[in-house]
Structure 1
Amino acid sequence: MSVLCTDTAKPCAYSPLIRWLTMTSNVNPCRFLAAPQSGPQASEPQSRTTLILAAHPDDEVIGATSVLTSVGGAAYVVFLTDGAPLDAALWSSHQQLPRSDYATLRWRESIAALSLAGVSKERISCLGAVDQESAQAVPLLVRRFATVLADVRPDIVISHAYEGGHPDHDSAALVAYAAVAMAQPMPEHWQMTSYHGANGSFRCGQFIPSPDADPYELAIELSPEQREFKSEMLLCYESQRSVLQAFVASADSERFRPAPDYDFALPPHPGKLWYETQGWPMSPRMVRR
């Protein structure tokens, strides 16, 4: 995560096609994620295993604190990248450190944050990509994530959407899509929100409407206690504090949707992608190749 979020999600005014299923935070969201066809009245799942594939350490808290706090120690978290770009100028802090030390710092922060939700370090892993470079290793990352899925056999996988917000978010969407399709048994595949720049403006906490997506999203309203807990988890990522301030201040809900059937050979939306506007080294052509 490397940008400030200044525009949080607004209810469904941006798309008349979406039906919002709103749940309060005292309900386990996995009750619905595990059996979406049953609707919000689905029975409490038994022994459901949830796995979150996050592009960077801190993305799991930004997008899925409600899930982490509901399933606690039953969750697995897999990071696509180590959170340390090759160019130290892209780091949020600690530019004086060697890159390996910065990556270690990011790893330790993730363990501290997730421990608050009861996720042990044995359930946290990293696929080993370099931050901002994951698109160059997608086939390898798909194989690695497929191995994780075969070992864990999750009932639910939650990852990023393909929206052009960050190249690693897009890679995570592709890696999850490809690996889940090969998994036996195949888990329910859901997406959490991140950020994007569709229609020329920065948006955080809402999806780009997709013609290939199911016509509903699940909105989890966080209680005051859960918002405070999310803030505490984000504060564990001290190296990212400057870019996480808006998330600490404004997170009041989280949204999830079934993963659409993307055509990853096409851009996620017309016009410039958000990461194109940031001067980062990765181009859309490199991400989609």
Structure 2
Amino acid sequence: MQPDFATRLASGERIEEPVAIVVAHPDDESLWLGTVLNRLSNATLIHLTDGAPRDMRDAARLGFDTRAAYASARARELDAALAALGAAPRRLAYRFVDQNLVFRVAELIERLRGDLAGMRAVITHPYEGGHPDHDAAALAVRAAFPGEVIEFACYHLADGERVFGRFWPDPHALEHSRLLGAEEQARVDEAIRAHATQQEVIGGWRPTEERWRRAPRYDFTAVPPPGAALYDGFGWALTSAEWRKRAASC
């Protein structure tokens, strides 16, 4: 019997079967999957948003006059990051507006159904209230793909702070991890630094290991497992309560 896909990711082996990686933003691939991308010989990397919110606060703070200019900068950063990782997956860019995915989730699910057909597994975000687009990715993948869904550890709220690179524990979801060697850490660091516009958010955090697990069953209409959403503290127009209302209407 073949081991589950999370176990295979943690083993460090090269994987030949077709696999999709579905991430919300340019930089998610570098932060959470930096060493995986060049071990997947037949990977499709799908970015759901262009990384640029309609609210121009982040863009203006970084010196961009338009949302399009900010999105273009993030696309260039992604190219540099993938080059640093030595990764050349097949790439699809849906280009939805950042922080807006849950409002387009029906369309998102329909597009994913076609693009995920025939995949051995899909790797994506957990539902944890870290970012509304992360949660929308988790919801849409589960709705679109009937096969094995694997999560990578991302970020969420714990003890009043943002926690990077850890799962909110689930007794029914066994975690698998792999320590990164020194060369791998250096390569991932270069990729993360390529996302220059995101350094204020990322700060000095760098992964020393990567974590995966088979996606547990979520109730996307319930409060995320940590009991609160990190992004409710950001002052964004979209709240977790509104997100759940939209998710319930899918």
AA paired with 2:216?
Answer: P
Q: Match for residue 134 of structure 2?
A: 169
Q: Match for residue 34 of structure 2?
A: 65
The answer to whether the 8 Å contact 1:93/1:239 transfers is: no
Shift of 1:117: 3.2
Q: Which range is displaced more, 273-282 or 163-172?
A: 273-282
The answer to whether the 8 Å contact 1:61/1:230 transfers is: yes
Counterpart-to-counterpart distance in 1, 2:10 and 2:138: 25
Matched, 1:246 2:197: no
Can you give the 5+ residue segments of structure 1 that lack an aligned partner in the other structure? Answer: 1-30
Q: Match for residue 55 of structure 1?
A: 24
Counterpart-to-counterpart distance in 2, 1:284 and 1:35: 29
Q: Match for residue 74 of structure 2?
A: 106
Q: Match for residue 225 of structure 2?
A: 269
TM (norm. structure 2) is 0.87
> Superposed, which structure 2 residues align to 1:1-289 within 5 Å?
34=5, 36=7, 47-71=16-40, 74-91=42-59, 94-120=62-88, 123-150=90-117, 153-181=118-146, 186=147, 188-211=148-171, 213-214=172-173, 216-247=174-205, 250-269=206-225, 271-289=227-245
Residues 198 and 95 of structure 1, relative CA distance in 2, 3 Å threshold: same
Counterpart-to-counterpart distance in 2, 1:176 and 1:245: 29
Shift of 1:203: 1.4
The structure whose residues are more often strand, as a share, is 2
Q: Match for residue 248 of structure 2?
A: none
The answer to whether the 8 Å contact 1:51/1:77 transfers is: yes
The alignment's C-alpha RMSD in Å is: 2.6
TM (norm. structure 1) is 0.76
Count of aligned residue pairs for this structure pair: 244
Can you give the 5+ residue segments of structure 2 that lack an aligned partner in the other structure? Answer: 246-250
Instruction: Kindly provide the CA deviation profile for residues 130-170 of structure 1, in whole angstroms up to 9, marking residues without a partner as x.
Output: 101111111111111111112xx321211000000111111
Counterpart-to-counterpart distance in 1, 2:9 and 2:57: 46
AA paired with 1:97?
Answer: D
SS in 1 for 2:104: helix
SS in 1 for 2:200: helix
